[in-house]
Each structure stands twice: as structure tokens, then as C-alpha cells.
Amino acid sequence: MNMHFPEILPITGRKDDIISAISSHQVVIIAGDTGSGKTTQLPKMCLEAGRGRKRIIGCTQPRRIAAVSVAQRVQEETGSPEMVGYKIRFHDQTSSTTRIKFMTDGILLAETRSNRNLHQYDTIIIDEAHERSLNIDFLLGYLHQLLKVRNDLKLIISSATMDTEKFSHHFSDAPVIAVSGRTYPVTYHYKTVPSANEDDLNMVELAVRETVSLADTPDGGDILVFMPTERDIMDTVALLRKRIVHPALVLPLFGRLGGADQRKIFSPSRQRKIIVATNVAETSLTIPGIRAVVDTGVARIAQYNHRAGTTSLPVRRIARASCDQRAGRSGRTAPGTCIRLYSEEDYLSRAEFTLPELLRSNLAEVILQMISLGLGDPRQFPFIDPPAPRAINDGYRILKELGAISPDNRLTSRGKIMAGLPLDPRISRMIIAGAELGALKEITIIAAMLSIQDPRIRPAEKIEQARQAHQQFLCPGSDVLGVIKLWQSCKTAMQGNQPAKGLRHFCKHNFCSWQRMREWFDIHDQILRIIKQHKGFSVNTEPASAAAIHQALTAGFLRNIGMRKKKNTYQISANREAVLFPGSALYNKGGQWIVATDFV
């Protein structure tokens, strides 16, 4: 099949080499920067190499928005919409005529349950493999095993230039074909965000100021602004629409964006575009026309808290490689500008690469998903970076404590529900108990709180004032009830036409971090969205009893139950001792038994 390959794309110059490698090797690794054309051209090269005739060429993407937009792009390039389809959760746009199928990596993993040998595919492309998400590492390990029994299956691993040697070694020294990116010089400007007082100049405000300054430059091209959360994006978009003087199209971009809004990002416009995005725009999507990037240097990054035993999605500094990927978005079609809202010293102090998700995850969650997917024993699974055996054993022990698996490591009925909730197992166990006990509303508030740093702050020069302000939220006998009281008080302050102003006023007068409170609300919204996708969960409309809240909390933190040995000192699991935090409502007043959610 003869396909058209745009000469402007760097990957077109390696077309013959790639087709030859696909024909003569079972596994091929393509390394290239974002914008080189890997995602759109590799499936077409597979067709030209004779693949996808009797079976399908499957292409995975880490995000739904990328799977959909790339499929639409390849449909346009091939001129055969019936030949190119996509499948994401709740939406299948494939048919019997589909030869190229784009999908999220989660969809391909789910298909392994019903079709262990993936017989519908003759070629699988794992795109953006450098992201090393859990799904990507699961797929690479699964395909490593599958290739031994399916000699006809071809695997193409597409990655940024990092980690290619590791991929090659894992797949028996598979050939690596390097593709250069289209790059022009990028000019860097470093800006330091003041940290003394969040209310004076926060990240959103500084990003807006720098973007407005860029937008005042005529004929400067489109602007891409990176923000960590959807809430930050919408706040930034709202402020920019008010402050931009010259005509401009200000658009949000994040994973859950609707189809019509997605199309605006890629549609030609006579107006300058200002796109405010999460890290979905870092590698998954190439947006044409970007000449300037404003980089906050942060993103939501999954992180396991060993002290609390929970996984959260805090806003964290990204690695240097991710910073470079973001900056490179501005140098695709012409010389670009990158404004970094952090210092050069900050940049140089960062880790070179983001640690693979597997190595910063709660292995109880990993094991739960592996059992659910039928991937076998993690101790024998061919991970690229195998976790420590001790950590695996600890993961099994946690799942048994939570009642998610039986003594012979099979999923229980409760475990099946937990596996369907993309949350830390402790949190999902709490949520199940909360639903059973009529305390789901309160438990979701606590679950979100466990994913952030305590929003209550004590400035060194105002410690006593802060202590007095925080006293109003204390509840005798329970810190978690105090957390709910803080939440409810803040929500009350936010009622009216200006909730953002109400939040700022509340935080200022009650010594709370504005950024952390926003993050708390954001994570709570995420948890509620997850719950709504599952039947059997109903949020209570009447306040739950303290007993029901504590019972649900205990279901997720059984190993954190403590028995009092002496005043403020408790014995917990593994014969450890813990001392109550002086700021706790239970300090000097604790009972015979307690359950803790965190250890310092």
C-alpha cells in the first residue's frame, strides 16, 4: 500500500530504514523528539511494510485526548476514515474495516483479559513509552512474554530519546532507529516566584502576567502555558480573557476536555491562540504554531507516601527532561521563547528524569491491578525495572489486611470493587466502608485531605495568632472531625457570587494555604467523579455519625491502630511506638485506642 509521507517531518527521512527494520525484526525501537512525526507516520509505515492486512495495527497512547486527536489526524492524511479508528473508555469508533486502531494503553490492557494472545493485532505500537506509566510498564512486560508465543506479532516502541538503551536491552538488543526533531533556537528567561506570601503573587497570577506581556508583542505566534491542574487552567483562562488587550483565542487543554473544545486547539485561526494546558501538551500532542512557552515547572505526579501508606497526586516539580520537552514546544516551526517561572539554579537542581511510576507507587495497588488483569505473579513478571521482593511481599500483606485478596492471593468480592476504583487501596477500602455505613460524603472529604499537605499554616512571626485561629476547627476526641469542620467552614465562606474571593478571604483570616485548599477541593472533585462511574455508591445527604466516620476510616488503616502504653504514647503494628503530635486534638486527652492516618 502506497502512502503519502509529509517531507517536512523528520521521520520521513528515515522511512526506508524503519520499514526495513519492521520487516526484518520482531521488535523495533524508534527514538525521536516530540514533533518528529512518530505518532502519525509510524502506523502508515507499518501499512506500507505489509502489516495490517488481515489483522489490525494497534497504537496505544497514554491519554484519551491524544488517541482521539491523532486518529482524526491520520484519517485526514490517509483519506480513508473507514480505515482508521479509535477506542477509548465508553467510546468505540472502530469497525470491521479498521486497519489502524488508536487507543489508550488502558484499553489494550483490558483487552488482554478476554483475548490473552491479542489475536486481532499483527502489530502493536507503544507510543510515548518514555513516560513509563504503570500501564506502559504492564504492557511492555506482557508483550515481552507474548512475543515468545506469537512469532508473527511485531512490536514497535516509540519513545523520546531517553531510556532507549534500556528498552533495547530488555527486548534482546532490539534495533534503535533515531529520528531528529524539527528544532530552532529557543531563548530562555528564568523568573523566580516569590514564596513569602502566596496571596501576594501566586503561580496563576505570575503566569498570567508573563503571558499578557508576551501577547502584547505583535506577530509573536501562539503561546502555550503549562499549569498543573484543571482548576489552575480554568482560573488562568478566565484571567487571560479579561486582561488580554489584542484579539486572541484563549483555550484550555486537559485530558477530560470535550471533543468540540479539542478541535478548537488544532483548527486554524486568524487570531493568535493562547493555550493553557496540563502536561498532556508536553509530549502526547504536537500543537502547530507555538512560538512561546510559559512553564510553571510543576505537574501532578503520583507519589506513594510510605509513612501514611497512601498514594496521592500532589503537585510536584517536574524533572529536567520534562522541562526541556516543554521548552522544545516553542521551537518547532521558528525560533522560540521559553519563560520558566523558576530560577536556573532550581532547574539545575532537579532530577534528570522522572522516576518510573512503578518505583514511586504503592505496590499493593500495583499487585491489585495485576491480579485483576491476570498478569501473574509480580515476582516473575518481566518488568523493565523490577521492584524489590520485600516491597512486593509488603504489598500482598496490605491487600490481605484490607480484605481485597484471599489467603491464596485471589480477588475477593470486595477486592473486585477496589480494583475497579483507580485509587490507592486504602482509600478505596475507606470509600467502600463509607458507602456501607452511610458516611461516604465525609469519607471523600477525608480521603482528599490525605492526598495533600495540611493546609493549616503557622508563619514563624504569627505562630500564636495561627494557633488561635486553628482552635475553632478542633473537635474533642477526633482530628478527622476537625478536618471536616475546616472543610465545611471554608465552603460556607465560599458561598455567593465570588467563591474565589471568599476562599482567599477565608485563608487569609484563618491561616490556611490558599494553594493547598484549592488542591483539596480539586482532588475531592476527582474522587467524586470516580465514584459516580461505579454503581452501588450513593453519597449520603444527612450528616454521618462520628462512629460511622471513624469506623470507615479504620477499615482503610487497620495497621495504624494504636493501643495506649502511657500518656500520648501508643503501640502500633510491628511492635512500633508512636507519640501523638502536640497539635492533635487528642494530645493529653487520647483514649485507650486510636487510629492514625499519618506518621512523621
- 569-572 and 576-579 strand pairing: antiparallel
Is it the case that residue 243 has pLDDT exceeding 70? yes
Q: For residue range 406-465, what is the model confidence (pLDDT) as tens digits? A: 999 999 999 999 988 878 898 899 999 999 999 999 999 999 998 787 899 887 778 889
Report which DSSP code applies to 180: -
Cβ neighbours of residue 141 under 8 Å, at least 6 residues apart?
375, 381, 382, 383, 384
Other residues' Cβ atoms within 10 Å of the Cβ of residue 316: 15
Cβ neighbours of residue 247 under 8 Å, at least 6 residues apart?
271, 272
What is the average per-residue pLDDT within 344-360? 92
Is it the case that residue 163 has pLDDT exceeding 80? no
Is it the case that residue 312 has pLDDT exceeding 70? no
The CA distance from 230 to 533, in Å, is: 19
The CA distance from 166 to 382, in Å, is: 13
What is the average per-residue pLDDT within 33-59? 92
Band (pLDDT 50/70/90 cuts) for residue 308 is low
CATH topology of domain 186-357: Rossmann fold (3.40.50)
What is the average per-residue pLDDT within 473-481? 91
Selected residue with higher pLDDT from 255 and 443: 443
| The predicted structure's pLDDT at residue 182 | 66
| The predicted structure's pLDDT at residue 193 | 66
What is the average per-residue pLDDT within 334-348? 94
* Cross-strand partners of 61: 104
Closest to 595 in 3D by CA, of 582, 11, 583, 580: 580
Task: Provide the residue count of the chain.
Answer: 600
Residue 20 DSSP SS3: helix
Please report, in angstroms and rounded to a whole number, the separation of the first and last CA atoms in the chain: 62
Contact 85/71 with Cβ under 8 angstroms?
yes
Q: For residue range 127-140, what is the model confidence (pLDDT) as tens digits? A: 999 989 989 999 99
Closest to 440 in 3D by CA, of 349, 537, 315, 309: 537
- Range with the poorest average pLDDT among 242-246, 302-306, 465-469, 525-529: 302-306
Which cell numbers in the block locate residue 300? 501532578
Cβ neighbours of residue 413 under 8 Å, at least 6 residues apart?
none
Query: CA torsion sign, 522 to 314 to 448 to 394?
Result: positive
| The predicted structure's pLDDT at residue 307 | 58
Band (pLDDT 50/70/90 cuts) for residue 588 is confident
Band (pLDDT 50/70/90 cuts) for residue 267 is confident
Query: CA torsion sign, 353 to 359 to 360 to 365?
Result: positive
Report which DSSP code applies to 377: -
DSSP letters spanning 93-138 = E--TT-SEEEEEHHHHHHHHHH-TT-TTEEEEEETTGGG--HHHHH
Selected residue with higher pLDDT from 282 and 147: 147
| The predicted structure's pLDDT at residue 424 | 84
The CA distance from 512 to 251, in Å, is: 31
- Range with the poorest average pLDDT among 33-37, 166-170, 546-550: 33-37
- 504569627: which residue's cell? 462
Which cell numbers in the block locate residue 274? 493562547
Is it the case that residue 372 has pLDDT exceeding 50? yes
| The predicted structure's pLDDT at residue 272 | 92
Contact 61/104 with Cβ under 8 angstroms?
yes
Band (pLDDT 50/70/90 cuts) for residue 306 is low
Do 10-179 and 186-357 come out as alike in CATH topology?
Answer: yes
| The predicted structure's pLDDT at residue 197 | 46
Identity of the residue numbered 168: S
Is it the case that residue 256 has pLDDT exceeding 80? no
Q: What is the CATH number of domain 370-542?
A: 1.20.120.1080
Contact 228/204 with Cβ under 8 angstroms?
no
φ and ψ at 32, to 5 degrees? Answer: -170, 150
Selected residue with higher pLDDT from 513 and 284: 513
- 487570531: which residue's cell? 271
Mean pLDDT over the full length of the chain = 89
Is it the case that residue 90 has pLDDT exceeding 90? no
The CA distance from 89 to 101, in Å, is: 14
Which cell numbers in the block locate residue 336? 522560540
Closest to 233 in 3D by CA, of 274, 286, 287, 189: 274
Report which DSSP code applies to 54: S
Closest to 282 in 3D by CA, of 72, 31, 34: 34
Is it the case that residue 586 has pLDDT exceeding 70? yes
Band (pLDDT 50/70/90 cuts) for residue 198 is very low
Looking at domain 10-179, its CATH superfamily turns out to be P-loop containing nucleotide triphosphate hydrolases (3.40.50.300)
Selected residue with higher pLDDT from 594 and 452: 594
The CA distance from 126 to 588, in Å, is: 56
Residue 498 DSSP SS3: coil
Is it the case that residue 265 has pLDDT exceeding 60? yes
What stretches of 451-578 show up as alpha helix (H) in DSSP? 463-471, 479-493, 499-510, 514-532, 546-556
Write down the domain spans for the chain: 10-179, 186-357, 370-542, 557-600
- Range with the poorest average pLDDT among 242-251, 302-311, 484-493, 537-546: 302-311
